[in-house]
Every structure is written in C-alpha cells, then in structure tokens.
Amino acid sequence: MLALQGDTREHLAALREAGADAVTVRRRSELDGVDGLVIPGGESTTMSHLLREFGLLEPLRALLREGLPAYGSCAGMILLSSEIVDAGVPGREALPLGGIDMTVRRNAFGRQVDSFEEDVAFDGLDGTVHAVFIRAPWVERIGEGVEVLAEAAGHPVAVRQGRVVATAFHPEITGDRRVHHLFVSSL
Ligand code: GLN
C-alpha cells in the first residue's frame, strides 16, 4: 500500500479483509519483497510531488515496467496511466507511472457531477458494483491488451492490463471487498 497521501486506511482494511498481508510503503527499501502495490484515492498531483521527493518515482516506473502487479483507485488510476489529460499546473502536475497503456482525464466528470454514485456492471463479478466517484477520472484511450472491466457515462472506469488494475471509483469505501479480492487473488 503506497502510503504517501490519500485514503490508505480504507484500502488497508479492504486489503486485509480480502486476505492480503498488507504493509505500508513510503520508502524505496519498503518496496523490496512486495507482491503487488496498491495506490489509493487522494490527490494525484500531491502524490506525484511526494513520489518525487521520496525518490520513489523512477523506482516505481521501473518496477511497473518489469511487471509489478498493481491496483489503483481514482488518483491511483491516474498515476497508473501512461498519459494524463488535464494533469494540473506545470511543475505541480500529476505524473504517470505507467502500468497500463491508457490516457486518463483528471476530474473528467466535471463540476456539475463532481461526485456521484452508480451501480456498474463489472466484468468478472456477479451482479453490479456500487461505484462511488469523487472528482474521478475517466479513461479516454486504451492501448492494445487493455481490457475494459466497467463503464460509466460511456467511458471506461475500470480497466486491466495483465496484473495491473485501475478503477476510477472507490471500492475501498463501500464495504464490498470483491474488487480488492479480485486483485489480491491474482497475486
Ligand atoms: N481528482 C483527484 C486527482 O486528480 C482524484 C480524486 C480521488 O482520488 N477521489 O488526483
């Protein structure tokens, strides 16, 4: 669990309930030996700044290139992309780590529907998932080999490439552990 900023507590609880032996990561050395990385919801520009300050940006990019499994929700989805539209003010912008070949738009749903909830069909899970969107991104382009797992407003909001998964919404705050379980059971 990348614990620089964001809703790490909720993800830690969700991961443990999904059967993972979850630990927090703030330093490069703490990445050694993890089976996978979760990047929480929060603020992708702040997390990017801290990743750089803590010397984690390039090590994480390299680990993802080498195939480190990862799951990111909301700000975590933004960071797991390969390209960000509306990344923020230059110098303080959100920085892509790679992991999934996709372009995401930050704060895509706009001011009117800033935050909303919707039940979405999720590939691989029975029934629907109650999806909570909070100033959420959506996916504007996916590369070859990227699967769309869920859509809202005509855009992909959950995707997977290999063992890297990203959701624009926050399953960690709903009590439904199926998305975390899906990730944990793939490790
Ligand atoms: N809008 C935030 C960002 O750009 C994401 C919001 C969230 O994680 N709930 O990082």
The answer to whether 69 and 36 have CB atoms below 8 angstroms apart is yes
The pLDDT > 70 percentage for the chain reads 98
Alpha-carbon separation of residue 161 from 34, 70, 113, 140, 169 (angstroms): 19, 10, 28, 15, 17
Q: Identify the residue whose tokens are 């490069």.
A: 28
What is the reported pLDDT for 149?
A: 98
Q: Identify the residue whose tokens are 């960071």.
A: 79
Output the average pLDDT for the chain: 96
What is the reported pLDDT for 112?
A: 62
Residue 74 has pLDDT above 80, yes or no: yes
For this structure, is 170 an active site residue? yes
Is the CB of 135 inside a 6 Å radius of any atom of ligand 1? yes
Q: Tell me the pLDDT tens digit for each residue of 40-69.
A: 999 999 999 999 999 999 999 999 999 999
For this structure, is 53 an active site residue? no
Q: What's the rounded Cα separation, in Å, for the pair 117 and 97? A: 27
44 is in an annotated binding site: yes
42 is in an annotated binding site: yes
What is the reported pLDDT for 51?
A: 98
162 is in an annotated binding site: no
- Average the pLDDT over 143-147 and give the result: 97
What residues are paired with 85 via a beta bridge?
105
Is the CB of 51 inside a 6 Å radius of any atom of ligand 1? no
What residues are paired with 133 via a beta bridge?
116
Alpha carbon of 142 to ligand 1 centroid (Å): 20
Q: What's the rounded Cα separation, in Å, for the pair 78 and 151? A: 16
Domains and CATH numbers, the chain: 8-184 (3.40.50.880)
Protein residue with least CA distance to atom 5, ligand 1 = 75
Q: Tell me the pLDDT tens digit for each residue of 82-127.
A: 999 999 999 999 999 999 999 999 999 976 678 999 999 999 999 9
For this structure, is 58 an active site residue? no
**C-beta atoms surrounding 17 within 10 Å:** 14
